Structure 1
Amino acid sequence: MRVLLLDADRGVVRTLEPELNGNTELHAAQTLSEGLRLVSQSQWDLILLDADFSGGGLELLGRLHGDSSTPVVLLAQNPSMDLAMEAIRQGAHDVLPKPVPRGRVREILLGIEEVRRLRPLPQDAGDESTIVGASQGMMAVYKSVARAAASDATVLVLGESGTGKEMVARVLHSRSRRARGPFVPINCAAIPENLLESELFGHEKGAFTGAIGRRIGRFERATGGTLFLDEIGDMSLALQSKILRALQEREIERVGGNSAVPIDVRIIAATNRDLHGAVAEGRFREDLFYRLAVVTLTLPPLRERGTDLDLLAGHFVAHYAREHARPVRAIAEEVFSALRAHPWPGNVRQIRNAMERAVVMSDGEVLLPQHLPPDILHPPSSRGAAEEPGEMPLVTLEEMEKRMIRRALRETQNNLTMAAERLGIHRNTLRRKIAEYAIEH
């Protein structure tokens, strides 16, 4: 394993070296520039960071945590409760006093090795609508949401399909002064054009065939709260004009009506379309675009969010294990390897569905690769590729289970107790499966 120490005190190296075994490399940097160079140029299993390093260890801690998944342990001469709490909030793996207690770094390294084999689920998974992520892109989104939520400004949320635009809209509403009012969503692309105007503005009795009574539209239903216009980029120019008037005049007219109805709503709009391009092509009104884009939030696609993929997988597995009463308590590292190899065109929505399916298909305390959907295990780009020598095609759950048992036995030198723990099953269950599959060990 490779450990990087960021500390201006050269004596710390002499203190730590006896703590490390022959398989561990210790590298040290005494200056910020040297430390950042080493961090960017190499892969590390653990970073030890002095709280006073270059006058801002905590600031560097947040940066290191946001840029990679490498565990960072903060070292402090006189650690306090406030320092420890802030360090953990910034993403620290642990906080240790200086001089470092004997054997503590070795324990942390052993723990990191174990976590890589079996990663435990988060203890507090929240619900499936919780926004999860610690990447730089998502941190920027969080800051913008925090600032925008406090105002009544119109917000335009941009992002690919499945990135969580409605979830962000709900957070904006829940953190605003309108939180006690209703949150009224409408998907402008899911309702036929001839019905969308009535859905938005309502209609009077007799306005058209079938209008047997007055109907209150989404604008009026959102009074005192927030109206979320999803997929607004698919709206016709005629309706865009009426939306613009509603935003400018703060009033609407019901279909078939002849009097203005005042409205008190906050508008949040979202689209996965390129609105700049649509404006240039005359498919979207420029004046409406600028009315909507008072505040613009752009959600990054999952493929650009780095280790957020691992966080989301753990979050959804924990949530669905609880919802479906499944015994899953940990995720095998091979699962994360398979997830990282997938492009995730459907973004957060796709990984949420994949993890729910995996939990439902699981049969033990550990989520294994064979529980993942086939399109994740065998993405289209890799189908038909040559198998590794000696490996059988991964086509059935039975064959995947055989492979995982053989691997566990091989990595534990045929120790049934350790292999069973690695697989998350009882030792007797492992014995039965070995006999059932006629596995030699």
Structure 2
Amino acid sequence: MCAPVYCHGYPSIDRNIRHTPLLKVLLLDADRSLGRTLEPELDDAELFSAQSLSEGLRMIASGSWDLILLDADFSGAGLEILGRLHEDGGMAPVVLLTSQPTMDLAMEAIRQGAHDVLPKPLPRGRVREILLGVEEIKRLRPLPEPAGKPGEDTIVGASSQMMGVFKSIARAATSDATVLVLGESGTGKEMVARVLHSRSRRTRGPFVAINCAAIPENLLESELFGHEKGAFTGAIGRRIGRFERAHGGTLFLDEIGDMSMALQSKILRAIQEREVERVGGGSPVSIDVRIVAATNRDLAQAVREGRFREDLYYRLAVVTVLLPPLRDRGSDLDLLSMHFFAHYAREHGRPVRAVAEEVFNVLHRHPWPGNVRQLRNAAERAVVMADGETLLPQHLPADILNPPEPAAANGAAPAPTEPPLVTLEEMEKRMIRRALRETSNNVTVAAERLGIHRNTLRRKITDYGIEHG
């Protein structure tokens, strides 16, 4: 019969504060006292033990283990069991225990896949170190294969908000309807325009983009409609504008909300008449262009205030796609982060294979005012700065790790103020909650950060009635 399960610490508290289950350790050893000896070494872990070969084999086959402790002399078949586990693959790390350690035994055990070889009696603290390593590995997220082919336009998301965006794109892509894409800066408006183009019947035609806010007003008309030689000082030859260059394809007018009323009138005419007139030209030029416009401004409000033509607004907003800010997309932050990590690891030839869970804790604490564009830049920087196979919080940009304090309304730095006084008990509660939150509710690591013993931390969690996770 299986030996009793040793549940260390305070199981009832652990169930309330851990996101992940306790580590499961299997001990295969005829020595019944070894489990009690191991008890101080097993932080946040459950120990299961077997004393016979048949019982041990059954438990190996029926359980999902995080660590297996195997006596080399277990039923006279320790090394045989180790070899079988190694051949099967995908099993938990196996630590071989022996009361007669020798170089030959250690070398043979390592050859057969042992994670470590420990002498009996066990070195104090060594099993605990191994368990901490196992737990850290469980807290890594393996990097996925990059989504899509290099250079392919891919919008990543699984939130309900993005599902609505995907449906709008799918319905609009197959038509020639004008699309207005709304959203904060950095949310991916140009990416939507490119996907609309690539999924449309115009995919073989050109995709031409212009940022209306980045070009001076006196040059924007020429950029859009082109000009004839001699139309103005410096016009030394004919220039084909963006409307003509996009013939047979898609023209993306980014930041159209920053355009003057005069140019808005000419844009409206080009859309309605499907023709443009070059600056200094005398005859119209026919165009076949699908328009996708975008802005981070509230165009409806601009219409009410007389800053944007109402007729142009309705011409542009045949189909409207509203992109949510990154802060409202929930778990999409994780999906996007892993997508960018994988993409840049491939692009820059970096050896990153996994991401530490703490990286996502840091990312979720950031407000992301620059939205997806800011996240993309942060992910690229992290991948480039990573010095091994695991991406860690310290590889993230400094402004993500330590975001600056918000500036005062007049732009000046806020005057330093002392926080209001609170009781020591309340301060202690706050620090415990913060330590648990920043360590994903790992009691052992949180206790180490707070500089107290884990049992003291568990007692305080109980005394204060802290429930988290």
Residues 301-357 of structure 1: per-residue CA shift (max 9 Å, x gap): 000000111111111111111111111111000100000000000000000000111
Work out whether residues 137 and 300 of structure 1, in 8 Å CA contact, stay in contact via their aligned partners in 2.
yes
Residues 240 and 138 of structure 1: CA distance in aligned 2, closer, same or farther (over 3 Å): same
1:193 aligns with 2:217: yes
Which residues of structure 2 form unaligned runs of 5+?
Answer: 12-16, 22-60, 67-89, 93-133, 408-415, 420-426, 432-443, 450-469
Give the match for residue 264 of structure 2: 240
Work out whether residues 328 and 365 of structure 1, in 8 Å CA contact, stay in contact via their aligned partners in 2.
yes
Deviation of 1:125 (Å) = 3.4
Deviation of 1:358 (Å) = 0.8
Residues 196 and 104 of structure 1: CA distance in aligned 2, closer, same or farther (over 3 Å): farther
1:178-257 alignment, distance < 5 Å: 178-257=202-281
Which amino acid letter does the alignment assign opposite residue 291 of structure 1?
A: R
Picking from 140, 143, 156, the partner of 1:118 is: 140
Matched residue of 1:273: which SS? Answer: coil
Which amino acid letter does the alignment assign opposite residue 181 of structure 2?
A: V
Deviation of 1:260 (Å) = 1.0
Paired with 1:315 and 1:364, the residues of 2 have a C-alpha distance of: 19
Residues 378-422 of structure 1: per-residue CA shift (max 9 Å, x gap): 112499999999x9xxxxxxxxxxxxxx969x89xxxxxxxxxxx
Picking from 127, 130, 141, the partner of 2:165 is: 141
Which amino acid letter does the alignment assign opposite residue 241 of structure 2?
A: G
Paired with 2:179 and 2:405, the residues of 1 have a C-alpha distance of: 38
Which amino acid letter does the alignment assign opposite residue 287 of structure 1?
A: D
1:348-387 alignment, distance < 5 Å: 348-381=372-405
Work out whether residues 116 and 333 of structure 1, in 8 Å CA contact, stay in contact via their aligned partners in 2.
no
Paired with 1:278 and 1:43, the residues of 2 have a C-alpha distance of: 50
Which amino acid letter does the alignment assign opposite residue 318 of structure 1?
A: A
1:322 aligns with 2:346: yes
Matched residue of 1:248: which SS? Answer: helix
Paired with 2:406 and 2:142, the residues of 1 have a C-alpha distance of: 29
TM-score by length of 1: 0.63
1:340 aligns with 2:403: no
Which amino acid letter does the alignment assign opposite residue 285 of structure 1?
A: R
Give the match for residue 53 of structure 1: none
TM-score by length of 2: 0.59
Paired with 2:18 and 2:221, the residues of 1 have a C-alpha distance of: 56
Paired with 2:325 and 2:184, the residues of 1 have a C-alpha distance of: 6
Give the match for residue 174 of structure 1: 198
Deviation of 1:292 (Å) = 0.1
Matched residue of 2:227: which SS? Answer: coil
Q: Tell me which moved more, 162-171 or 376-385.
A: 376-385
Matched residue of 2:239: which SS? Answer: coil
Residues 211-257 of structure 1: per-residue CA shift (max 9 Å, x gap): 11111100000000000000000000000000000111111111001
Residues 116 and 287 of structure 1: CA distance in aligned 2, closer, same or farther (over 3 Å): farther
Deviation of 1:105 (Å) = 7.8
Residues 196-222 of structure 1: per-residue CA shift (max 9 Å, x gap): 000000011111011111111000000
Deviation of 1:43 (Å) = 10
Paired with 1:198 and 1:104, the residues of 2 have a C-alpha distance of: 72
1:276 aligns with 2:295: no
Work out whether residues 125 and 316 of structure 1, in 8 Å CA contact, stay in contact via their aligned partners in 2.
no
Residues 254-284 of structure 1: per-residue CA shift (max 9 Å, x gap): 1001111111000000000110111111110
Give the match for residue 311 of structure 1: 335
1:53-72 alignment, distance < 5 Å: none
Residues 147-204 of structure 1: per-residue CA shift (max 9 Å, x gap): 0001000000000000000000000000000000000000000001000000000011
Which amino acid letter does the alignment assign opposite residue 307 of structure 1?
A: S
Matched residue of 2:320: which SS? Answer: strand
Moved over 6 A (4+): 20-23, 42-46, 104-108, 112-115, 382-389
Work out whether residues 218 and 227 of structure 1, in 8 Å CA contact, stay in contact via their aligned partners in 2.
yes
Which amino acid letter does the alignment assign opposite residue 125 of structure 1?
A: A
Give the alignment's Cα RMSD to 1 decimal. 3.5
Which amino acid letter does the alignment assign opposite residue 380 of structure 2?
A: E
Which amino acid letter does the alignment assign opposite residue 254 of structure 2?
A: D
Which amino acid letter does the alignment assign opposite residue 215 of structure 1?
A: R
Which residues of structure 1 form unaligned runs of 5+?
Answer: 1-19, 26-41, 47-101, 392-405, 412-441
Aligned residues: 303
Deviation of 1:124 (Å) = 2.9
Paired with 2:354 and 2:361, the residues of 1 have a C-alpha distance of: 15
Matched residue of 1:223: which SS? Answer: coil
Which amino acid letter does the alignment assign opposite residue 124 of structure 1?
A: P
Paired with 2:359 and 2:203, the residues of 1 have a C-alpha distance of: 39
Paired with 1:341 and 1:326, the residues of 2 have a C-alpha distance of: 26
Residues 182 and 115 of structure 1: CA distance in aligned 2, closer, same or farther (over 3 Å): farther
